[in-house]
Chains A and B, each alone.
Chain A
Amino acid sequence: MKQIFAITLLLLAGASLYTWRTQPEQQTQRPIIRWKSDPNPQRYEQVELFNQWCMENGHVDEQNKPMIMLQLDAANNQSSLIQAISGVGGDIIDAQAQLFAPMGVCHDITAFAAKGNFSLEDTYPGARSLLSWQGRQYAYPCNVAVAAFWFNLDTLARFGIDSIPAEWTPDEFETIGRRFVERANAGLARQEFFFCAPLDNTYILNCMARSQGVDLFNETMTAATCSEQPFIDAMARLYKWTFVDKLAPSAAEMASMNAEGGYGGGNFSQLQYGNFAAILTGRYALIRFRTFSRKINFATAQVPMHDFKNLIISTRSAILYKGSKNPELTKLFFAFLASKTYNDYIIKEADGLPPNPKYACANPDYLQPQGYENEGRSHANELKWAMNIALPAPASPYCKATDNNWLVYALKKYFNDLGTAEDVLTEAEERFNRAIQESLQANPEMKKNWLEQVQIQQKIEELKKKGQQIPAHWISNPFHRKYYLETGKLLIKAEENP
């Protein structure tokens, strides 16, 4: 019996040694910088590019190898939040500064960024508030995206639709969509062709509501306002499009689709095979599409909206983790993100929009890439929209970012017939407001600030009622600032610059 135990122990010790030896840390002498990102195959190439860049710019050690070993941790199913706060996040984390900075897990990079050409001025106007918190910069984009509908023109042409407008109202969208679905599925036992990918996402909901002047949060972001009529209408529209007009598949229909996976999921193949005429995505989708043997002729269109055209800008931005053991070396990575090498790579490989728009504007390689004529105006459109109409997703500093799913929850509830649009949105509004109260309770300092803002909000409401212009410095919600400015409701004092 003793022997058995001893032998087992020896074996286990051997196994441990093997396990330890084969850990990535043990394979190299150079300091390892971990980069937590998404499982896009493109990231592996970017790691290579980083090594190259290091060599070219002299960031090398004695053996003429890059000073650091950049290692990619790319798995997307773990909550990076818990990871970060428990001290085991990567040195660089692709995450929202808005979400992570208030928890104190990010290094402030403001000063460093100003020196290195990657300050807030060096990126898209709509993205700035995503990268900073309380006026300090905590992140810089790896890439930027403004999602829109990407149409497969070949699919449309098959069913007699020649072109798609770049901007449309919900009614126009519905008319064209219904025509498509009717023609495409004529004579089929089960609907196989859809006008677009599932509509049960808050992106379209937010854009549609914003196009009528309502945001998820009010002007001072002190309360949620998602039970207002534009939200209700938008949600009812999405429901109708999914279940009545069948322009888009429902969750059940989605759950039964088999398709090749890979980065981006099955939607991409559905677009390629023509089952979806459009999917909601950004330029980064071209990474996959360019690998398909058959070239798709693309046209991009905004999501259907009313008067005030807007889209939501999103960035995959890198933060410098406070728990990093090598913060100085990690800064090298940010310099890499700001470099022309990296920006050109993003432009060339179509991994979204480059972090710095100056490399894309007026660059023919970006606007009309050689050999990809089938992509049409999609590049120019996305850049134009990113510079002109894109806004960050709704958020409030008083509402814990992890709680932001109430709108999603409302949408899911409504799509499962568990209440009217008004009911579920009213409930969502209450839940948001309760979440705000909760975080105020936990943080007295925040509460003081909030109370001041609430008073300002009251004044704003009064002015709104009277139909007067509202002073710009009262408004902290980036959406309302832009909306009021463009609709002429914003009062700008001479010394202020919106």
Chain B
Amino acid sequence: MNAIKLKREIRQILVGLGFLLPNILGFLAFTTLPLLISFFLAFTNWNFEMHNYFRPGAIPQFIGLDNFRKLFAEPDFFRFLGNTLFLMIGIPFGIAGSLGSALLLNHNFRGQNRRIWAVAIAGACLLCSCMLLVILNRSSSSTLLLICGLFAGILVFGSLGGQTVYRTLFYFPHFTAGVATFILWKKLYSPENGPINNALRPILDWISTATPNFTPANASLASSLLVLILLVCNTLFARRVLIRWKEGESGSFCLFVSLLLLTLPAWLAAHLLPLPWQRLALPAAAIITYFVALWQVKRGKSFHAKADYGLADAVILGGTMLVFSYAMIGLAILAFRFPEARAAGLAPPKWLVDYYWAKPAIMMMGLWGALGSNNMLLYLAGLSSISPELYEAADIDGASPWQRFWTITWPQLANVTFFVLITSVIGGLQGGFEMARTMTQGGPAGATTTLSYYIYEQGFMTGRLGYASAVSWVLFLLVLIVTLFNWKFGNRYTND
């Protein structure tokens, strides 16, 4: 009996493996084996110039941790890691964008016929009025007409075709992303006569003539106001975090994470903000927040939650706040410097050829692709799986749309958000190669060299394979940390 069972089991395994065989052979040959080789390579001085096809005698030597030592000793690695992380600031925007698109697209478009026609007619009217506008006002160019026509066309098609049409259009940029669209963007970003700067120039001219009142005194006032708003928002947010913690919606560890994310910009602000009080205010607020938090923690809380309960929410909310803070700090600096810049003549940025603008330019292009990406589709799927009863219950309670979003939609989508965030972070760590190779060659002066481009440069352009392997393994460790984080926390806290 047992022997028969054993025989059957062996048979089953053989059949199972038989079906698996073609795939697993390739898998071993092109994934597992390279992985092992790569690991060993990272500890050798393999260099194509020394050890190659034509020098069978020269054998790469084990040099222990030398590659890693060099990597951590030289500024390059950290600079390029910094570039990679900087480009990842775009991720929260991308996620917010795709969530927004999904929310917009999730409405039921297919109402009664009359409504559809109403919208279609409205679109056609708009088209006509745009045309009239252009015909009457000769100063407008045909380009404007064209854009209006495009807009009206989309509107008519969209209101007739509903979600599918918009979803298709939203998804185009992501779907076609590749060398071709990067080249397209390179041309769009042309500093002197690209369409982006051609459009910006009149706007900037208008701004500089339309703001004669914006004197330096007003500028510092505006800048101060922005910082004040940031302070208020930060305080409100910190309060919210503390309340969440007290009510047991998040654990102590999450409290710490949220506060850390919240107060990180303060240290940047201390260096960058133009006015002395601003430089003091944010760090001071941060310190006070910590003290209040400590005091609250000492007092204890009403509901007890495990230390890492609600981490996903904490990371997402804290991250959003972090980005918001950076944006406000940036705006404050911008406002302060505006009069000076206007005096010098407002010029549109030089995008890809400017050291400081190259990264934002690439991020903006990324955002273009991220609005309607796979993430949007995932959000759409998530939205459609929220049971309508929840909303009905909320309607009966008289909840505002804002409340509906925060109490129903957001928590119900938490697992999707977490998944999307993790995959974006992993993608972001490895990303940037194609853009850098196509648009900037890693320049200007290394501003857009990400780790993946660095690996390519070291491995395939200068031939230091051992060193490049070491870099790729450090990257691997970073990805692994994120993956483990996902593995440990993702399932536990988001699926309940």
Give the B-binding residues of A (Cβ under 8 A): 79, 81-82, 85-87, 102-105, 190, 251-258, 322-323, 400, 402-403, 409, 412-413, 415-418, 442-443
Q: Which of B53, B55, B190 has the most CB of A within 10 A?
A: B53
Question: Do residues A79 and B52 form an inter-chain contact, with CB atoms below 8 A?
Answer: no
B152 vs chain A, min Cβ distance (A): 31
CA distance A416 to B354 in the complex (A): 7
Question: Do residues B192 and A253 form an inter-chain contact, with CB atoms below 8 A?
Answer: yes
Question: Do residues B463 and A256 form an inter-chain contact, with CB atoms below 8 A?
Answer: no
What residues on A are CB-neighbors of B350 within 8 Å?
Answer: 252, 255
Question: Do residues A416 and B355 form an inter-chain contact, with CB atoms below 8 A?
Answer: yes
Question: Do residues B461 and A79 form an inter-chain contact, with CB atoms below 8 A?
Answer: yes
B193 partner, pick from A103, A256, A417, beta carbons under 8 A: A256
Question: Do residues B192 and A257 form an inter-chain contact, with CB atoms below 8 A?
Answer: yes
CA distance A255 to B54 in the complex (A): 41
What residues on A are CB-neighbors of B354 within 8 Å?
Answer: 252, 416
**Taking the complex as formed, is B34 at the interface, i.e. its CB lies under 8 A from any CB of chain A?**
no
Question: Do residues A256 and B50 form an inter-chain contact, with CB atoms below 8 A?
Answer: no
What are 16 of the A-B contact pairs (CB < 8 Å)?
A82-B460, A82-B463, A85-B49, A86-B53, A251-B444, A253-B191, A255-B190, A323-B53, A400-B462, A402-B461, A409-B445, A409-B446, A412-B444, A413-B445, A416-B445, A442-B50
User: Interface readout for B335-366 with A: 1 if CB under 8 Å, 0 if not?
Assistant: 00000000000000010111100000000000
B191 partner, pick from A87, A255, A409, beta carbons under 8 A: A255
CA distance A284 to B81 in the complex (A): 43
Nearest to B194 among chain A residues (CB) is A256
Question: Do residues B461 and A81 form an inter-chain contact, with CB atoms below 8 A?
Answer: yes
Q: Chain B at the A interface: mostly helix, strand, loop or mixed?
A: loop
What residues on B are CB-neighbors of A190 within 8 Å?
Answer: 192
CA distance A417 to B350 in the complex (A): 14
Q: Which of A102, A251, A415 has the most CB of B within 10 A?
A: A251
Given known A-B contacts A251-B353, A412-B443, A258 and B193 have beta carbons under 8 A apart: yes
CA distance A400 to B446 in the complex (A): 20
Question: Do residues B443 and A255 form an inter-chain contact, with CB atoms below 8 A?
Answer: no
**Taking the complex as formed, is B38 at the interface, i.e. its CB lies under 8 A from any CB of chain A?**
no
CA distance A104 to B55 in the complex (A): 7
Question: Do residues B460 and A443 form an inter-chain contact, with CB atoms below 8 A?
Answer: no
CA distance A253 to B52 in the complex (A): 42
**Taking the complex as formed, is B45 at the interface, i.e. its CB lies under 8 A from any CB of chain A?**
yes
User: Interface readout for B441-472 with A: 1 if CB under 8 Å, 0 if not?
Assistant: 00111110000000000001111000000000
A413 vs chain B, min Cβ distance (A): 4
**Taking the complex as formed, is B48 at the interface, i.e. its CB lies under 8 A from any CB of chain A?**
yes
Given known A-B contacts A103-B52, A412-B443, A81 and B193 have beta carbons under 8 A apart: no
Question: Do residues A85 and B462 form an inter-chain contact, with CB atoms below 8 A?
Answer: no
CA distance A322 to B53 in the complex (A): 10
| Sample of 19 further A-B pairs with CB below 8 A, known A413-B445, A416-B444 | A81-B462, A82-B463, A103-B48, A103-B52, A104-B52, A252-B191, A252-B192, A252-B350, A252-B354, A254-B353, A256-B193, A256-B194, A258-B193, A322-B54, A400-B49, A402-B461, A409-B446, A415-B445, A418-B445
CA distance A403 to B45 in the complex (A): 16
Nearest to B48 among chain A residues (CB) is A85
CA distance A252 to B351 in the complex (A): 9
Question: Do residues A104 and B48 form an inter-chain contact, with CB atoms below 8 A?
Answer: no
CA distance A78 to B272 in the complex (A): 42
A85 partner, pick from B190, B192, B463, beta carbons under 8 A: B463
**Taking the complex as formed, is B163 at the interface, i.e. its CB lies under 8 A from any CB of chain A?**
no
Question: Do residues A255 and B353 form an inter-chain contact, with CB atoms below 8 A?
Answer: yes
CA distance A85 to B459 in the complex (A): 13
**Taking the complex as formed, is B47 at the interface, i.e. its CB lies under 8 A from any CB of chain A?**
yes
What residues on A are CB-neighbors of B192 within 8 Å?
Answer: 190, 252-253, 255-257
Nearest to B460 among chain A residues (CB) is A82
Question: Do residues A85 and B52 form an inter-chain contact, with CB atoms below 8 A?
Answer: yes
A70 vs chain B, min Cβ distance (A): 23
User: Interface readout for B186-210 with A: 1 if CB under 8 Å, 0 if not?
Assistant: 0000111110000000000000000
What residues on B are CB-neighbors of A402 within 8 Å?
Answer: 49, 461-463
What residues on A are CB-neighbors of B49 within 8 Å?
Answer: 85, 102-103, 400, 402
Nearest to A322 among chain B residues (CB) is B54
Q: List 9 tightest A-B contacts by C-beta distance, closest first.
A: A256-B192, A85-B52, A252-B350, A416-B355, A402-B462, A412-B445, A104-B54, A413-B445, A252-B191
Q: Which of A104, A322, A403, A417 has the most CB of B within 10 A?
A: A104
What residues on A are CB-neighbors of B194 within 8 Å?
Answer: 256
Nearest to A102 among chain B residues (CB) is B49
What residues on A are CB-neighbors of B355 within 8 Å?
Answer: 416-418
Nearest to B49 among chain A residues (CB) is A103
From residue 157 to 203 of chain B, which have CB atoms closer than 8 A to chain A? Answer: 190-194
Nearest to A403 among chain B residues (CB) is B462
Question: Do residues A252 and B54 form an inter-chain contact, with CB atoms below 8 A?
Answer: no
CA distance A102 to B463 in the complex (A): 14
What residues on B are CB-neighbors of A403 within 8 Å?
Answer: 462
Question: Do residues A256 and B445 form an inter-chain contact, with CB atoms below 8 A?
Answer: no
CA distance A79 to B461 in the complex (A): 6
Q: Which of A79, A85, A413, A418 has the most CB of B within 10 A?
A: A85
CA distance A323 to B354 in the complex (A): 43
What residues on B are CB-neighbors of A255 within 8 Å?
Answer: 190-192, 350, 352-353
CA distance A403 to B53 in the complex (A): 21
Q: Which of B48, B49, B193, B462 has the most CB of A within 10 A?
A: B49
What residues on B are CB-neighbors of A443 within 8 Å?
Answer: 50
A106 vs chain B, min Cβ distance (A): 9
Question: Do residues B460 and A87 form an inter-chain contact, with CB atoms below 8 A?
Answer: no
What residues on B are CB-neighbors of A400 within 8 Å?
Answer: 49, 462
Nearest to A250 among chain B residues (CB) is B353
User: Interface readout for B204-238 with A: 1 if CB under 8 Å, 0 if not?
Assistant: 00000000000000000000000000000000000
What residues on B are CB-neighbors of A413 within 8 Å?
Answer: 445
What residues on A are CB-neighbors of B447 within 8 Å?
Answer: 416
What residues on B are CB-neighbors of A251 within 8 Å?
Answer: 353, 444
Nearest to B467 among chain A residues (CB) is A438
What residues on A are CB-neighbors of B352 within 8 Å?
Answer: 255
Q: Which of A79, A254, A412, A416 has the most CB of B within 10 A?
A: A416
CA distance A96 to B55 in the complex (A): 19
CA distance A102 to B443 in the complex (A): 29
Question: Do residues B53 and A256 form an inter-chain contact, with CB atoms below 8 A?
Answer: no
What residues on B are CB-neighbors of A418 within 8 Å?
Answer: 355, 445
What residues on B are CB-neighbors of A103 within 8 Å?
Answer: 48-50, 52, 54-55
What residues on B are CB-neighbors of A409 within 8 Å?
Answer: 445-446
A172 vs chain B, min Cβ distance (A): 30
What residues on A are CB-neighbors of B461 within 8 Å?
Answer: 79, 81-82, 402
B297 vs chain A, min Cβ distance (A): 44
Question: Do residues A323 and B54 form an inter-chain contact, with CB atoms below 8 A?
Answer: yes
What residues on B are CB-neighbors of A105 within 8 Å?
Answer: 52-54
CA distance A139 to B143 in the complex (A): 56
B436 vs chain A, min Cβ distance (A): 14
CA distance A316 to B53 in the complex (A): 25
What residues on A are CB-neighbors of B45 within 8 Å?
Answer: 442
What residues on B are CB-neighbors of A442 within 8 Å?
Answer: 45, 47, 50
What residues on A are CB-neighbors of B48 within 8 Å?
Answer: 81-82, 85, 103
What residues on B are CB-neighbors of A256 within 8 Å?
Answer: 190-194
CA distance A418 to B461 in the complex (A): 25
CA distance A403 to B47 in the complex (A): 13
